Amino acid sequence: MLKKNSWLLWGAALFIAWNCLLLLFLWSRPPSSSSSSSSLTAQVIRLAQDAETELERQKELLHQIYLYSGALWGRRRNRGARITPKPSSPPPQIDVDLVLPVLVLACDRSTVRRCLDKIFLYRPSAQRFPVIVSQDCGHAETARVIASYGDAVVHIRQPDLGDIPVPAEHRKFQGYYKIARHYRWALGQIFRSFRYRAVIVVEDDLEIAPDFFEYFQAALPLLLADRSLWCVSAWNDNGKEQMVDVSQAELLYRTDFFPGLGWLLLAELWDELEPKWPRAFWDDWMRQPEQRRDRSCIRPEISRTMTFGRKGVSHGQFFDQYLKFIKLNDRFVPFTQLNLSYLKKEEYERSFLSKVYAAPEVKVEELQGNRRRELGTVRLQYSGRDSFKAFAKALGLMDDLKSGVPRAGYRGIVSFVYRGRRVYLAPPADWTGYDPSWS
């Protein structure tokens, strides 16, 4: 408050000093040599008008000083109220003019309404986050649901609805070929026709969290600045409620596994991927070393999406065992007010790896028996593919690997909560890289 008052006193002093000088100047002017009283009268009137104009200008100056001091005080007060992991380093600033559209990929689920209703409920700005629904399949009821939103959505339709020639052994996978075709067409529309610089991709069976937009808005500057990142995802593959720390809804990670299920990419990445886009199984293709190129994604401790689409081309694969238990975050985290620079590659590896390998090592039987609780955070070390899969299955993690990368893993490390304590399932500290033959 003292600093605000000093601004006001300085402004008032400037105002008084200027006007004293002005009056002194007017009183000290020599009398006019003209003998004409009308000329003298005109000069006096002109001087009075000049003085009045100057007084108004000074009044406005004082008003601007007051406003500036108030705004400055408000900014300082708000800055002091922010929760920042590293207050010495200011959070990255987002380009406020960058429009970030949401692309909803739809097919034949009229329940797309559930997805869209939550998007419109939580969306902070229609201008900043326009909604584009790309529909495949030509399903009439789904089209009517989308049309019911009127001008609130841009409804585009994938024009090629025919079957795709596939190898005989892939006949049952026709749906995966159509999904890949739809993705290619829809992303082409976003980046080639609409010419957006980035997009959030959502499928029609996803429900979003209250801070979904806040999360992506805050993570976008990281994606723009850090070339070791290639996506931001709203999904934690091991995000079942008993396996996450609900008290740390603000916690984010780097992961080498492409999560999908609500994700953000830049136009530059599409420039790279579009020429070689696969005919099918696009998400597993993204997880291959040739596409990932040692880049990572950002993912949350607690998922910002959940899927309600048990029925689909995957016939409910993983849904009953994993997906329906994923915890959807229900607490708004002001990510744009937090400092996320700890997620930059060098800083993250310094802090995360030291934390993992400083944790005491335990055996899987000790974890299952809930022993050695006094150790707090612990590490369970695996030595190869088989031991990883055995430990993951024993502890309730997803145990599949894609090109050697575990779900939600970073440098082979999977972080999760087991019986209320943090556990790192990790390779030895001298880990040298993924083995693509692990599957």
Q: Is 283 a catalytic residue?
A: yes
Residues 332 and 351 in one domain: no
User: What pLDDT score was predicted for residue 32?
Assistant: 45
Please report whether residue 296 resides in a domain: yes
State yes or no: pLDDT of 276 exceeds 60. Answer: yes
pTM above 0.85, yes or no: no
Please report whether residue 92 resides in a domain: no
Please report whether residue 437 resides in a domain: no
Please report whether residue 438 resides in a domain: no
User: What pLDDT score was predicted for residue 10?
Assistant: 52
- Of 108, 283, 399, 435, which residue is the catalytic one? 283
Residues 412 and 337 in one domain: no
Residues 278 and 298 in one domain: yes
State yes or no: pLDDT of 83 exceeds 50. Answer: no
Last residue of a domain, which of 327, 342, 357?
Answer: 342
Number of domains in the chain: 3
Residues 150 and 244 in one domain: yes
User: What pLDDT score was predicted for residue 95?
Assistant: 54
pLDDT, tens digit, 9 for 90 and up, residues 3-23? 444 544 555 555 555 555 554
pLDDT, tens digit, 9 for 90 and up, residues 16-53? 555 555 545 444 555 444 444 445 444 544 544 555 54
Q: What is the mean pLDDT of residues 260-287?
A: 98
Residues 44 and 190 in one domain: no
Q: What is the mean pLDDT of residues 230-238?
A: 98
Residues 313 and 414 in one domain: no
User: What pLDDT score was predicted for residue 320?
Assistant: 77
- Helix/strand/coil (H/E/C) assignment for every residue in the chain: CHHHHHHHHHHHHHHHHHHHHHHHHHHCCCCCCCCCHHHHHHHHHHHHHHHHHHHHHHHHHHHHHHHHHHHHHHHHHHHHHCCCCCCCCCCCCCCCCCCCCEEEEECCCCCHHHHHHHHHHHCCCCCCCCEEEEECCCCHHHHHHHHCCHHHEEEEECCCCCCCCCCHHHHHHHHHHHHHHHHHHHHHHHHHHCCCCEEEEEECCEEECCCHHHHHHHHHHHHHHCCCEEEEECCCCCCEHHHCCCCCCCCEEEECCCCCCCEEEEHHHHHHHHHHCCCCCHHHHHCCHHHHCCCEEEEECCECEEECCCCCCCCCCCCCCCHHHECECCCCCCHHHCCCHHHCHHHHHHHHHHHHHHCCECCHHHHHCCCCHHHCCEEEECCCHHHHHHHHHHHCCCCCEECCEECCCECCEEEEEECCEEEEEECCCCCCCCCCCCC
Residues 325 and 355 in one domain: no
Residues 326 and 353 in one domain: no
Please report whether residue 95 resides in a domain: no
Under the banding of pLDDT at 50, 70 and 90, the label for residue 309 is confident
Instruction: Report the CATH number at residue 284.
Output: 3.90.550.10
Please report whether residue 408 resides in a domain: yes
Last residue of a domain, which of 319, 342, 365?
Answer: 342
Residues 197 and 308 in one domain: yes
Q: Domain limits at 386?
A: 347-426
Please report whether residue 365 resides in a domain: yes
Residues 275 and 331 in one domain: yes
For the chain, what is the mean pLDDT?
A: 85
49-53, 385-389, 426-430: least confidently modelled range:
49-53
Residues 304 and 212 in one domain: yes
User: What pLDDT score was predicted for residue 222?
Assistant: 97
Please report whether residue 179 resides in a domain: yes
Residues 22 and 161 in one domain: no
Instruction: Report the CATH number at residue 361.
Output: 3.10.180.20
Last residue of a domain, which of 16, 47, 81?
Answer: 81
Under the banding of pLDDT at 50, 70 and 90, the label for residue 107 is very high
User: What pLDDT score was predicted for residue 50?
Assistant: 53
User: What pLDDT score was predicted for residue 292?
Assistant: 98
